[in-house]
Every structure is written in C-alpha cells, then in structure tokens.
Amino acid sequence: MSVTTEVDAHDGEGLAADLSERYARTRQLVAELAVRHGRRPEEVRIVAVSKYQPATAVTNLAGAGQRDFGESYVQEALAKQRVIRRPDLRWHFLGRLQRNKAKYLPGNFMLFHGLDNAALALDLHERLQVKSQMLDVLIQVNLGDEPQKGGVTPGGLPALAEHVGGLSGLALRGLMALPPFELDLAHKQRLFGELRRLRDAVQRQTGLWLPELSMGTTDDFPQAIAEGATMVRIGTRIFGDRPERVSP
C-alpha cells in the first residue's frame, strides 16, 4: 500500500486509485472463493451496487473494467445513466419497485432482481408487449420471515414462478434473496442454501430453467458463493461507505 498524504486522500485521483484497489481485491477474492467451491471465476458475477454513489464513481469503476452496476432507485439510476452515457454498461435494478415505476425498467435495465408479485409481473409484461421487448427477471424470495420486507414467501414461490414463466414479456432467469442483515453469518449461509434448494425444487416442478442465484452483499458474499451464488451484489466493499442520499 502506498503512503497517502492528507492532500492525496482528498483529490479525485487518490480516490479513484483507492477504488480500483478495493475493486481489484474484491475481484480476486470472489474468484478465489468461486474456485474453492468448485466453480470457475467467471461463473460468479459481481454486480457493483452504485446506489447513492455519484456518477464519477461509476465511471471510475467502469474504467477499471467493471460492467455490471446495481441501482435501487429508478430516478437516481436514470439520472446517472444520462450523465454516464456508456452503452456497454449493464444496469441491474435491485429490490422494491413501485408499480407506477414499472414503465422505466424496459430498455433501461438488463435484469430486475426483485420481482415478487403477480400484479407487478403482469404490469411489466403488458408494457413490454406493447413495445415487443423482453425483460430478464429474478424472483425475490423472502427467507427471513419478515412480512414487511420485499419478496414472495417460499410457499408462494412455485405459483408465482409458473405465472411469470407464462408471460411472454418476461424471461425468468432465477431467484434473488436479501436475508435480514442482523442475522449471523452461519444463519445467513443456511438461508442461502435454502434459496438454492428452493430453486432446484421449482425447476423440477415447473420445468423452467433457473440458472441464476443473486445472493450475497458486502457482509456475506463468501457465504453466498459457498452456497452457489452466480451474482453477488457488492456496494460498500468496492465503493466505500455510501454518501447520504442526494436528491433522487
């Protein structure tokens, strides 16, 4: 590690260098964990979660080679996309989507990690049909017994998967989960294993092919990779602490 002076720490280039170093270390660790669990490094994709981060941070990380970015607020994401203007970036929408914002996903995001109800699925499908477009989606499963949080219950999953699988505008690719953050790592790992088993069961029941498992964040991506994650959604570990939310 280089010695940083106080001045360096505050200039843009110093921050960009810190970012690419954290990114390089994260990529290295994700690759090592993948191999340790019998997979190839490219089978675990990093989605860099850039919510609340300024457009310059996204541009800097793209400069270091990252292409997948995750956002959780539609207006914030669209504003950044307009400034960044890089068609090579792949934008993911994470988490809760209000139905009145559904119209913004098609064309602006390549994958929606967070579909959790039939009404929203139908809404998206109808919008997509009008434009002859398709959207890749992951169903979010609520594993933590937290009814107020997003996600379909494990019991409701097979019916929702059947429903989504029957909508031509949507391409169901797999499942996503975000366990309650206060759980210990061993508990979270059990929940990640449960998501994988649910995926296997739904595949058998419906005949749908659901290769993607989006699970694991800064705190628990090693446990998620151990249980078969194909996408890890990492924010703070790459970008540093999130700044206060700027106006959406």
Ligand X SMILES: *Cc1c(COP(=O)(O)O)cnc(C)c1O
Question: What residues make contact with ligand X under the rule CB under 6 A?
Answer: 49, 51, 72, 94-95, 178, 217-219, 233-237
Specify the residue, 199 or 233, whose C-beta has the smaller distance to ligand X.
233
Specify the residue, 6 or 184, whose C-beta has the smaller distance to ligand X.
184
Provide, rounded to whole angstroms, the least separation between the CB of residue 91 and ligand X. 14
Q: Determine how many CB atoms are found less than 10 A away from the CB of residue 243.
A: 11
Specify the residue, 92 or 167, whose C-beta has the smaller distance to ligand X.
92
Provide, rounded to whole angstroms, the least separation between the CB of residue 96 and ligand X. 9
CB 154 within 8 A of CB 197: no
Query: What is the DSSP secondary structure assignment for residue 240, as one 8-state letter?
Result: -
Specify the residue, 80 or 233, whose C-beta has the smaller distance to ligand X.
233
Provide, rounded to whole angstroms, the least separation between the CB of residue 13 and ligand X. 24
Give the residue from 155, 231, 157, 136 showing the smallest Cα distance to 192. 231
CB 91 within 8 A of CB 48: no
In terms of C-beta distances under 8 Å and separation of at least 24 residues, what long-range contacts does 241-245 make, across chains too?
242/51, 242/52, 242/53, 243/52, 243/53, 243/54, 244/52, 245/52, 245/76
* H helix or E strand, kind and range, residue 171: strand 170-176
Specify the residue, 165 or 240, whose C-beta has the smaller distance to ligand X.
240
Q: For ligand X, which residue has the nearest CB?
A: 235
Provide, rounded to whole angstroms, the least separation between the CB of residue 180 and ligand X. 12
Provide, rounded to whole angstroms, the least separation between the CB of residue 144 and ligand X. 13
